[in-house]
């Protein structure tokens, strides 16, 4: 009984020991496997966070770059360019300057938007809606500009477009440019992918044994690869793989990481034998050590993971702070640009209005005066046209600086328009002080401007209005100061005027005449009169000048020197000119049956700005009327001599080659110069009537007329004298070899029917 009990007990002990040992071995192997699994899971989580942080960096990068392009598309330079383009400006008259500002802004974006001293954009294009390139800056490579592919882009969105080229994948940001609610073009910006690569690689270290690619449908952009050169790298298929989409972009971030090295504990024979032999005496210690080691390993992994995450968060927070600061600076810069003129640094029109409103509120509370001064540079367009826009910009900058040096700190100067400045002077005591300030400003411009060793002068016209005498709102004061300034221009420029209520009477008349002139043209109220031109030697009519007359139902007779300038300002001069030319050619062709006759038609210098249109108009009038070109005399005011282009000279040469006669009208009253006369192919010179008024009493006028006739003869030009009022004029001018004359001494301007009767009467008398 005792033996069996002992055997049973021993057997139980052996079985129990074997079971315990087996359980210990299984437990140890299971714990080892669980530990390795947890390590893998910990590594998987850590790497997932790392890849997600890379994706967040790229998402932030594209958000910032798209903001830059959004700001550029709505910026003042591009909007001003499309506004000028929509208004029909040519490259010579404003559009070229707008395009230069667009070029500078595109280049500035390339040069200033950098990460680690590398430009974010390699190349930026402004492309028209039809695909033509308007401006291109940078050294990037953009080969495909297919705007049809961008038509579906929403107005407020930016398309991130990727294309595969021979040198890899290219990234382009495409933003529609809106003007007046319509898409008029696109900004295409090529992103420097090296910046993206550097953004990513600076966060990784070489011993990480990983690989990362940025992929799109167009292909992949290689970021880094430290797996391929590692001796234990193996095949990519056994590595840890992540694929994370980049929010708001077409990109995906693909990553491979080498897992932790493992020991194959299940296939180690000696490990199993040794573990079996040592299991019983050391099982307790192994269990204790394994438990402590497992706890320590998990804790170390978590601590390391926490430290790395904290480091990454610190880097991201630092970059986020830097980006916030950049955005603040950008917003401050945009706010400054929105309220200040980019060229002079002065307050712009909108900000100037706001400052005026503020000063008027203060003046109303304190019961003080506010003086506003409109300063306009005279003939500034001629500076741009003759010396170039860079010189014009220099004049604007230097003019603003001269005025700033003169005024008190309490005064405010703003650039109100192209060559207009607004000066606001609060707390002015009386008008005399305002007159002194205006006189000092005029004196500033007695000093010359110098560009490239060339000295030139420019004057100003100044209009002033005072609160509350001349208006209580900003709009009233600005309108009245503007009226006073234009009164100065009408009176000869280079002076100043205070506003008075009589000026509004002239302005109101001009506005009403503008409206009635449009109605008169529509209702065909205007009429041509004809004044004969007489050969002074034979006293025979050789031609007639067509003169426009307007008899208004309300204002009565309106002289041409009043309504022609209005037509030139509002664009109606083209309709008036076409009416005058067609009517005169028709009548002249009809009168050729009575006697040979030349018809003189006046052209405005405004019409000659569109020289191609003028040529088509003249050819059409001659063809439709049947009048021979040699019977048409085209009279041009001498202001065209000073303000002209090469296209005008080409047009005049074409007209002369057609056979038409060219006459310089009102000679001697403006910018006449012999050098100008030599440039133009004129046939005839017309002396203005102003020189004949006091010619009998004024020896100076007689000498001047003698000199003009002598000069014209030297240039082989025929001479016509206007304003011959009596026989003395007739005899004197004939005696100094003047060819032709016209004036009341021969006949007043007559309607077509009466002039035709005059021709018939002279034709009959010629037979007897």
Q: Are 420 and 478 in contact (CB under 8 A)?
A: no
- Do residues 495 and 515 share a domain? no
Q: In this structure, is residue 766 part of a structural domain?
A: no
For residue 173, pLDDT beyond 90? no
Q: In this structure, is residue 599 part of a structural domain?
A: yes
- Do residues 557 and 686 share a domain? yes
Q: In this structure, is residue 290 part of a structural domain?
A: no
* CATH number of domain containing 521: 3.20.20.450
- Do residues 121 and 242 share a domain? yes
- Do residues 492 and 537 share a domain? no
pLDDT confidence tier of residue 19, bands split at 50, 70 and 90: low
- Do residues 422 and 563 share a domain? no
pLDDT (mean) for 215-241? 73
45 bridge partner residues: none
- Do residues 74 and 100 share a domain? yes
Q: In this structure, is residue 10 part of a structural domain?
A: no
Q: What is the pLDDT of residue 235?
A: 59
Strands 133-138 and 121-128, sheet pairing: antiparallel
Range(s) of the domain holding residue 118: 46-258
Q: What is the pLDDT of residue 619?
A: 94
CA distance 292 to 602: 110
CA distance 524 to 522: 6
* pLDDT tens readout for residues 364-406: 898 888 998 999 988 888 788 778 888 888 888 998 899 889 8
Q: Which distant-in-sequence residues (6+ apart) come within 8 Å of 733 by Cβ?
A: 536, 705, 721, 724, 741
- Do residues 359 and 231 share a domain? no
pLDDT confidence tier of residue 30, bands split at 50, 70 and 90: low
Omega into 62 within 30° of 0, i.e. cis?
A: no
- Do residues 102 and 157 share a domain? yes
Q: In this structure, is residue 205 part of a structural domain?
A: yes
Q: Of the candidates 238, 258, 278, which is a domain's last residue?
A: 258
544 bridge partner residues: 532, 599
- Token pair listed for 160: 């991130």
Helix, coil or strand: residue 551:
strand
CA distance 493 to 459: 8
- Do residues 560 and 691 share a domain? yes
Closest Cα partner for 740 from 683, 669, 702? 683
For residue 268, pLDDT beyond 50? no
Q: What is the pLDDT of residue 277?
A: 58
**Cβ–Cβ contacts within 10 Å for residue 331, how many?**
11
CA distance 535 to 541: 6
* pLDDT tens readout for residues 107-123: 888 888 888 788 888 88
Q: Of the candidates 237, 258, 279, which is a domain's last residue?
A: 258
For residue 652, pLDDT beyond 50? yes
* pLDDT tens readout for residues 73-132: 888 888 888 888 877 776 666 677 788 888 888 888 888 888 878 888 888 888 887 778
* CATH number of domain containing 355: 3.30.70.270
Residue 637 vs residues 142, 682, 687: alpha-carbon distances, Å: 51, 12, 11
pLDDT confidence tier of residue 267, bands split at 50, 70 and 90: very low
pLDDT (mean) for 697-711? 88
Counted domains in the chain: 3
Q: Are 474 and 422 in contact (CB under 8 A)?
A: no
Element (H, E) at 491: none
CA distance 338 to 255: 45
Q: In this structure, is residue 151 part of a structural domain?
A: yes
- Do residues 547 and 421 share a domain? no
- Do residues 468 and 524 share a domain? no
CA distance 190 to 174: 9
What is the total residue count of the chain? 768
377 bridge partner residues: 460
pTM of the model: 0.46
Q: In this structure, is residue 657 part of a structural domain?
A: yes
Q: What is the pLDDT of residue 154?
A: 67
Cα 158 to chain center, whole Å?
21
Helix, coil or strand: residue 369:
coil
Q: What is the pLDDT of residue 484?
A: 85
Q: What is the pLDDT of residue 265?
A: 41
Q: In this structure, is residue 665 part of a structural domain?
A: yes
- Do residues 487 and 583 share a domain? no
Of the CA atoms within 13 Å of residue 106, those in its CB half-sphere come to 24
Q: Of the candidates 478, 499, 520, which is a domain's last residue?
A: 499
Angle between helices 2-73 and 193-201 (to 10 degrees): 150
* CATH number of domain containing 204: 3.30.450.220
């Amino acid at each position: 009984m005792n033996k069996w009990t002992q055997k049973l007990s021993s057997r139980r002990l052996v079985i129990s020991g074997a079971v315990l040992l087996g359980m210990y071995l299984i437990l140890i192997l299971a714990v080892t496997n669980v530990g390795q699994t947890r390590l893998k899971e910990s590594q998987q989580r850590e790497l997932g966070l790392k890849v997600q942080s890379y994706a967040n960096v790229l998402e932030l990068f594209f958000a910032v770059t798209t903001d830059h392009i959004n700001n550029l598309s709505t910026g003042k330079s591009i909007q001003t360019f499309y506004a000028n383009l929509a208004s029909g400006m040519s490259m010579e008259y404003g559009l070229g300057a707008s395009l230069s500002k667009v070029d500078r802004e595109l280049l500035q974006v390339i040069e200033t938007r950098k990460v680690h001293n590398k430009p974010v954009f390699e190349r930026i294009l402004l492309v028209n809606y039809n695909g033509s390139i308007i401006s291109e800056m940078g050294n990037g490579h953009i080969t495909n500009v297919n705007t049809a592919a961008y038509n579906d882009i929403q107005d407020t969105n930016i398309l991130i477009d990727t294309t595969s080229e021979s040198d890899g994948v290219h990234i382009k940001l495409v933003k529609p440019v809106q003007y007046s609610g319509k898409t008029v073009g696109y900004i295409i910006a090529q992103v420097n992918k090296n910046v993206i690569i550097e953004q990513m690689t600076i966060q990784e270290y070489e011993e990480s044994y990983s690989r990362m690619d940025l992929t799109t449908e167009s292909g992949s952009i290689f970021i880094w690869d430290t797996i391929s050169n590692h001796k234990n790298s193996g095949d990519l298929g056994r590595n840890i793989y992540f694929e994370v989409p980049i929010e708001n972009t077409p990109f995906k971030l693909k990553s491979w990481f080498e897992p932790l090295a493992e020991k194959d504990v299940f296939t180690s024979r000696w490990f199993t034998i040794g573990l079996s032999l040592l299991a019983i005496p050391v099982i307790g210690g192994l269990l204790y050590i394994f438990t402590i080691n497992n706890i320590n390993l998990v804790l170390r992994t978590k601590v390391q993971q926490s430290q790395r995450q904290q480091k990454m968060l610190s880097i991201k927070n630092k970059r986020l702070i830097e980006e916030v600061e950049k955005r603040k600076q950008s917003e401050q810069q945009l706010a400054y640009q929105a309220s200040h003129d980019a060229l002079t640094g002065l307050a712009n029109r909108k900000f100037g209005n706001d400052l005026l409103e503020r000063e008027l509120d203060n003046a109303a509370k304190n019961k003080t005066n506010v003086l506003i001064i409109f300063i306009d540079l005279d003939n500034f367009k001629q500076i741009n046209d003759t010396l170039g826009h860079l010189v014009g910009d220099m004049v604007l900058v230097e003019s603003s600086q001269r005025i700033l040096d003169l005024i008190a700190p309490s005064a405010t100067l703003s650039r109100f328009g192209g060559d207009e400045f607004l000066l606001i002077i609060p707390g002015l005591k009386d008008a005399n002080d305002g007159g002194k300030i205006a006189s000092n400003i005029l004196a500033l411009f007695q000093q010359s401007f110098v560009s490239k060793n060339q000295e030139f002068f420019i004057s100003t016209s100044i209009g002033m209005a005072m609160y509350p005498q001349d208006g209580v709102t900003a709009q009233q004061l600005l309108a009245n100061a503007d009226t006073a300034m234009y009164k100065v221009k009408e009176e000869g420029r280079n002076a100043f005027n205070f506003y008075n209520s009589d000026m509004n009477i002239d302005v109101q008349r001009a506005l009403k005449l503008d409206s009635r002139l449009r109605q008169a043209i529509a209702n065909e109220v205007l009429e041509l009169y004809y004044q004969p031109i007489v050969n002074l030697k034979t006293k025979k009519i050789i031609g007639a000048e067509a003169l426009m007359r307007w008899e208004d139902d309300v204002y009565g007779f309106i002289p041409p020197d009043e309504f022609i300038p209005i037509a030139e300002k509002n664009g109606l001069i083209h309709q008036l000119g076409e009416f005058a030319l067609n009517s005169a050619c028709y009548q002249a062709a009809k009168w050729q049956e009575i006697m040979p006759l030349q018809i003189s038609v006046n052209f405005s210098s405004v019409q000659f700005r569109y020289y191609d249109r003028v040529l088509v108009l003249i050819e059409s009038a001659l063809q439709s009327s049947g009048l021979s070109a040699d019977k048409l005399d085209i009279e041009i005011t001498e202001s065209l001599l000073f303000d002209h282009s090469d296209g005008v000279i080409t047009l005049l040469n074409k007209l002369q080659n057609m056979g038409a006669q060219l006459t310089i009208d009102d000679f001697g009253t403006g910018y006449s110069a012999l050098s100008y006369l030599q440039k133009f192919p004129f046939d005839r010179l017309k002396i203005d009537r102003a020189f004949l008024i006091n010619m009998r009493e004024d020896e100076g006028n007689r000498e001047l007329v003698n000199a003009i006739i002598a000069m014209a003869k030297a240039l082989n030009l025929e001479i016509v004298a206007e304003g011959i009022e009596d026989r003395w004029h007739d005899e004197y001018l004939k005696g100094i070899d003047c060819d032709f004359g016209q004036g009341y001494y021969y006949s007043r301007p007559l309607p077509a029917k009466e002039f035709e009767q005059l021709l018939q009467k002279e034709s009959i008398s010629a037979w007897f």
